[in-house]
A and B are shown apart, each in its own frame.
Chain A
Amino acid sequence: MNVYFNVKVTNVKRDSLVKMKMADGPVILRRNRPGTKAKDFCRWPDEAFEEMDSTLAVQQYIQQLIRRDPANIDLILKMPDAQDEGVWKYEHLRQFCMELNGLAVRLQNECHPETCIQMTATEQWIFLCAAHKTPKECPAIDYTRHTLDGAACLLNSNKYFPSRVSIKESSVAKLGSVCRRVYRIFSHAYFHHRSIFDEFENETYLCRRFTQFVTKYNLMSKDNLIVPIWEEENAPGESEA
């Protein structure tokens, strides 16, 4: 917290210097200008959700919370008052799919079509890739890529999600199936590439957040949540909180 505060102050100074000429007073411009160092990327003072007047306010707010502390899942998933729940769920799912790219990148190095010829988690199910006209048994890495690509297309589809400010009820219903599919990436990584999963999870807390998210908004049935992360992490999670 202390460190963060320091950063905040220096940022204010830097931004105000740049902005001084253009406006009266120290207006904070939240920008990643070319030349920004990686550690300074998006490190600007938080903006209150009420003050965000952009159409992308929900995304901004979620990303801001994640950047502040990815482990504080309760806060990240706490919906602001008077927020449309459909949009809230939608923006969270976008963020999940986006961050899952990180897991996919790691899997690419280890999960080869020769070794993981099917998308499996436990031995119980073989998942068929829904990206094709007739669902087929893609190798795990292709399943992962296709599922993420398909989710990106669906979540950005002008037909189902033309606006990021209000979302039709029928489109909100589509979120559940996206959740179900992308969850299999977690489960495959957990059961077959455990080291990658752990490394990724320790950095991002993504699977825990995802599990809590789908549970909170009832987007997946509990039976499908096969990664035992919740029980495992429950104890330290509580102590952290």
Chain B
Amino acid sequence: MKTTGDDTLLRLVMEDTSVVQNGAQLGLQGGPAPNVKPNEENNTKAQYSIPGILHFIQHEWARFELERSQWEVDRAELQARIAFLQGERKGQENLKSDLVRRIKMLEYALKQERAKFHKLKYGVELQQGDMKPPQLDDSNIDTQLDSDQSYTSVTKATWKQGRQLLRQYLQEIGYTDRIIDVRSNRVRTLLGLNNNAEQDENVTSGQVNGNESNKRASETQGRRTPAKKTQPSCLTEAMMFDTEAAVMANLDFLSSADVDMEDDDDMSDDVELEATDELEDDVKAIKRRGKIDNMGDDVDAEAMEVLNELNLLSETENQHQDMKDAGDWKGLNFQSGGPGRRPLALNDDENIDTGLGLGELAQLTVNNDAETSYDISSSKEAFRKTWGAKYTLRSHFDGVRALCFHPTEPVLITASEDHTLKLWNLQKTVPAKKSASLDVEPLYTFRSHNGPVLCLAISGSGEHCYSGGLDGKIHCWTVPNSNIDPYDLFEPDVLNATLQGHTDSVWGLAELHSQQKLLSCAADGTVKLWAPHSKMPLLNTFTSDQDGIPSSVDFVRDEGNRIVAAYNSSNCIIFDTETAKPLVRLDSGVNNKQINRVVCHPTLSLTITAHEDRHIRYWDNNTGKMVHSMVAHLDAVTSLAVDPNGLYLLSGSHDCSIRLWNLDNKTCVQEITAHRKKFDESILDVAFHPSRPYIASAGADGLAKVFV
């Protein structure tokens, strides 16, 4: 608090003046003394008269008093200087810890990028010394995972308290303002915003304009600043200045990088969504790589140096500080993804920091947050998993109608309008030259359909797969080994059997793993149940004349002897597999809401339908009542998949996007734009891997994409 300091000085000056007054009084008192003197001069051989002695003593006393007060002033001055230096040191350390953190993060990002680059280029993991994320990062993520709101707010509160305390101490010493001035100036210098001349001007003008009543104080400060510039007084200070200089050399780059990072953060939500959009993706990848390259060239060596130096300095004290900061980050990151996160973060920091006048520093912290949230969103241990495109499966000449994953291996099969099915092993990727997504080459091409292949199912063991085509045939294939040579010899027995029975295009297939039964529906109006590997494969046929043509089928997963068939009249019927009698009718009551896909929940008694009218509807299997209905997409919903645990629903639509839904509260968790349009079709199928964290989408643009 300023006034305190001024008061002290003022008081000292008052004392001074009072001393002077005393002196004057003495002078006045002494005034009559000369009058007395001549009288006494005569008879005083002993020249010491009582008044003279008194006068002398008084004079001496006044002199001592004066000196003492001067010392007092000096002492106060020195104390102020100490306080100032301490405060400055604190500020430097804060800044330094910020920079260290920043460097560590950048270094880690660089390492990761290098590893990725190396992996992409040579196909093997790069052996790097320490591929661990920076320590504080680790703890940050770990604690973040199991932190909850209250905890975060508590840490934030303690952090705030700490700052308040610090401020109080500074106030007690009484040098806050000057410290603030100088600190903010220094920060500005560090950030390269002002040149030195301007800064000096600022300092002096600040003092001139400031309401400093004590001239001496301002003098000392004026004296001090330049002195300090030229001659660091002690060793630590010298070191600090060295590091400062080194940091300053990099800071221009750093701050420009920050701006980029900030942009990234602003866009991050979008970017996540658009990551699948190749153009965006490429641009971003290039941008990022450019940035990393720059860093690698310009800063790496220097950064290492600085880092070492700074580590020495910061190790002890900063650990505490880092912990606090980590807490702060945590608080902010926790809100990441939520709307208005940025403003909130800014406000928080402003509240805390403007008090200390660390405008720029506050921004630095915000940037840090931007970085970490960026890092975390890309890391797999994020609080909420976000899916991003990883593999692009390009080899089909026309739209991919269906896809399914192998039950255990990272393998999938796609079926296309180009008359073929293809087998893909996600572990056999082609090194892509630029984009973030990897290309996969197909291992095997299944040829036997005489026309577009429309639907696909795989057996529970992954040994067989089944495909239905426009030619009305259902082929049973033996899935080749997932390590097969793509250009191996032809083996006719890959085609295991062909199920003949449908007289028109087969549009839907479903497999019941436990009983090795296959369900199909076709445009001839029938739904058929097969035992594909027996001599008499056809088990039963189901029809519903009043409902027209079935468009999709599924087994009622929680009751093995029931199936559900969706009709293009917008109704679903649950049949009994033994009697072929309709049991329950899921009636939407309105016509012309063609159902494009029906799936049953793996554990609940729930059926979900995807409609041409953009809706997804939920049905109770027992009552046949509609449980929930929602507009899910901007265009017709074409495909559905429920994750193996029954928690999430994946939907694809002709609006070019796939959406992930939380089945619990029926809210959209993520949307990914995945495919382009061909005519008025876009996404034709989606799938969850039954045991691994993969999702996939198949598009009319001839591509299939796998997201991780």
| Chain A interface residues (CB < 8 Å from chain B) | 17-18, 21-22, 29-38, 41, 44, 47, 54-56, 59-60, 94-95, 97-98, 101-102, 104-105, 108, 113, 129, 131-132, 138-139, 141-142, 145-146, 148-150, 152-153, 155-159
As a 0/1 sequence over residues 544 to 559 of chain B, the CB contacts with chain A under 8 angstroms (1 = contact) are 0000111110000000
Contacts A33-B612, A35-B507, A54-B677 known; A158 to B420 CB distance under 8 Å? no
Chain A minimum-CB-distance residue to B488:
A142
Q: What 0/1 readout, one digit per residue, does chain B (618-640) give for beta carbons within 8 Å of chain A?
A: 00000000000000000010000
Given contacts A37-B523, A149-B442, contact A113 B489 (CB under 8 A): yes
Q: Could you jot down 28 A-B contacts, CB within 8 Å?
A: A18-B594, A18-B612, A21-B613, A31-B636, A31-B680, A32-B681, A34-B568, A35-B568, A35-B594, A36-B523, A38-B470, A38-B471, A54-B677, A59-B678, A98-B419, A101-B447, A102-B450, A108-B447, A108-B490, A108-B492, A131-B487, A132-B487, A145-B445, A146-B487, A152-B395, A155-B397, A156-B396, A158-B439
Main secondary structure of the interface of B (DSSP, over half): loop
User: Are the CB atoms of A54 and B489 closer together than 8 Å?
Assistant: no
Instruction: Check B373 for interface membership: any CB of A closer than 8 A.
Output: no
CA of A84 to CA of B138, assembled, Å: 53
CB distance from A186 to the nearest CB of B (A): 17
CB contact between B435 and one of A104, A113, A158 (< 8 Å): that residue: A158
Contact B394 A158 (CB under 8 A): yes
Q: Verify if B701 is at the interface (C-beta below 8 Å from A).
A: yes
Q: Which of B59-116 contact A (CB under 8 A)?
A: none
CB atoms of B678 and A60 under 8 A apart: yes
Minimum Cβ distance to chain B for residue A52 (Å): 8
B422-434 to A contact mask, C-beta < 8 Å, 1/0: 0000000010110
**Does B448 have its Cβ within 8 Å of any Cβ on chain A?**
yes
The closest CB in chain B to the CB of A53 belongs to B677
User: Is the Cβ of B472 less than 8 Å from the Cβ of A139?
Assistant: no
**In the complex, what residue of chain B is closest to A111 when comparing beta carbons?**
B490
Task: Point out the residues of chain B lying under 8 angstroms from A33, CB to CB.
Answer: 551, 568, 594, 596, 612
Additional A-B contacts beyond A41-B452, A146-B487, A148-B445 (8; CB < 8 A) = A21-B592, A33-B596, A101-B420, A131-B487, A139-B489, A152-B397, A152-B442, A152-B445
B122 within 8 A of A: no
Contact B419 A156 (CB under 8 A): no
Indicate if the CB atoms of B472 and A108 lie closer than 8 Å. Answer: no
Given contacts A59-B678, A149-B486, is CB(A34)–CB(B439) below 8 Å? no
Whole-angstrom distance between the alpha carbons of A104 and B450 in the complex? Answer: 10
**Closest chain B CB from A161 CB (angstroms):** 9
Residues of A within 8 A of B702 (CB): 156
Contacts of B652 in A (CB 8 A): none
B489 touches A156 (CB 8 A): no
The answer for the CA separation of A29 and B550 in the assembled complex, in Å, is 20
- CB nearest neighbor in A for B445: A149
Contact partners of B492 in chain A: CB under 8 A:
108
A156 to chain B, nearest CB (A): 4
Highest count of chain A CB atoms <10 Å: which of B430, B449, B487 = B487
The closest CB in chain A to the CB of B441 belongs to: A153
| Chain A contacts for B388, CB-based, 8 A | none
Task: With CB as the reference atom, state the residue of chain A lying closest to B505.
Answer: A38
**Distance of A47 Cα from B592 Cα, bound (Å):** 25
| Least distance between A103 CB and chain B CB atoms (Å) | 10
Cβ of A156 and Cβ of B395 under 8 Å apart? yes
Residues of A within 8 A of B654 (CB): 31
Q: Which residue of B lies closest to A105 (CB)?
A: B447
Q: Which residues of A contact B454 (CB under 8 A)?
A: 34
Most buried by B among A94, A97, A101, A113: A101
With CB as the reference atom, state the residue of chain A lying closest to B398: A98
Instruction: Encode B641-685 as 1/0 by CB contact (under 8 A) with A.
Output: 000000000000010000000000000000000001111110000
Instruction: Tell me the complex Cα distance, A97–B702, Å.
Output: 14
Neighbouring B residues of A155 by C-beta, 8 Å: 397
Look across to chain A and name the residue whose beta carbon is closest to the beta carbon of B397: A98
- For the complex, give the distance between the alpha carbons of A22 and B654 in Å: 14
From residue 231 to 267 of chain B, which have CB atoms closer than 8 A to chain A?
A: none
Contact residues in A for B636 (Cβ distance below 8 Å): 31
B450 touches A35 (CB 8 A): no
Which residues of B493-536 are within 8 A (CB) of A? Answer: 504-505, 507-508, 523
Least CB distance, B585 to chain A, in whole angstroms: 18
- Report whether A36 and B433 are in contact in the complex, using a CB–CB cutoff of 8 Å: no
Q: Which residue of A lies closest to B449 (CB)?
A: A105
Q: Give CA–CA (A47, B532) in the complex, Å.
A: 42
Interface status of B597 (Cβ within 8 A of chain A) = yes
- The answer, yes or no, to whether B418 is at the interface (CB within 8 Å) is yes
Q: Would you give the 0/1 interface string for B382-403, flagging 1 where the beta carbon is closer than 8 Å to chain A?
A: 0000000000101111100000
Nearest residue (CB) in B for A15 is B680
Given A54-B676, A60-B679: A37 and B490 interface contact (C-beta under 8 Å): no
Inter-chain contacts of A60 with B (CB < 8 A): 678-679
Contact of A105 with B397 in the complex, beta carbons under 8 Å: no
A35 with B550: in contact, given A54-B679, A149-B487, A153-B395 (CB under 8 Å)? yes
Note all chain A residues with C-beta closer than 8 A to B439: 157-158
Q: Which residues of B contact A31 (CB under 8 A)?
A: 636, 654, 679-681
Which A residues lie within 8 Å of B396 (CB)? 152, 156
A101→B678 contact, CB < 8 A? no
Q: Which residues of B contact A131 (CB under 8 A)?
A: 487
CB distance from A109 to the nearest CB of B (A): 9
**Knowing A145-B490, A158-B435 touch, does A18 contact B551 (C-beta < 8 A)?**
no
Leading 3 A-B pairs by shortest Cβ distance: A34-B551, A98-B397, A30-B679
B552: which of A34, A149, A150 is its contact (CB, 8 Å)? A34
Chain A residues near B23: list those with CB within 8 A: none
Instruction: Return the chain A residue nearest B495 by Cβ.
Output: A108
Q: Are B523 and A38 in contact (CB under 8 A)?
A: yes
A21 CA / B673 CA spacing, docked (Å)? 25
Residue in A34, A94, A146, A152 whose Cβ sees the most chain B Cβ within 10 Å: A34
A43 to chain B, nearest CB (A): 12
A113 touches B490 (CB 8 A): yes
Q: By the criterion CB–CB under 8 Å, are A105 and B487 in contact? A: no
Central interface residue in A18, A94, A104, A156, by most chain B CB within 10 Å: A156
Let me know if B133 is at the binding interface, CB within 8 A: no
Residue B451 CB within 8 A of the other chain: yes
Q: How far is the CB of A91 from the nearest CB of chain B, in Å?
A: 10
A153–B430 alpha-carbon span in the complex (Å): 11
| Contact residues in B for A56 (Cβ distance below 8 Å) | 676-678, 701
CB distance from B76 to the nearest CB of A (A): 73
Q: Could you tell me the distance between the alpha carbons of A60 and B398 in the complex, rounded to whole angstroms? A: 10
Q: Is the CB of B613 within 8 A of A22?
A: yes
- In angstroms, Cα B448 to Cα A101, docked, is 9
Please state if B419 and A37 are interface contacts (CB–CB under 8 Å): no
A217 to B680, CA, bound (A): 31
- Contact A158 B452, beta carbon cutoff 8 Å: no
Minimal Cβ-Cβ distance residue in A for B598: A34
**CB distance A105 to B678 under 8 Å?**
no
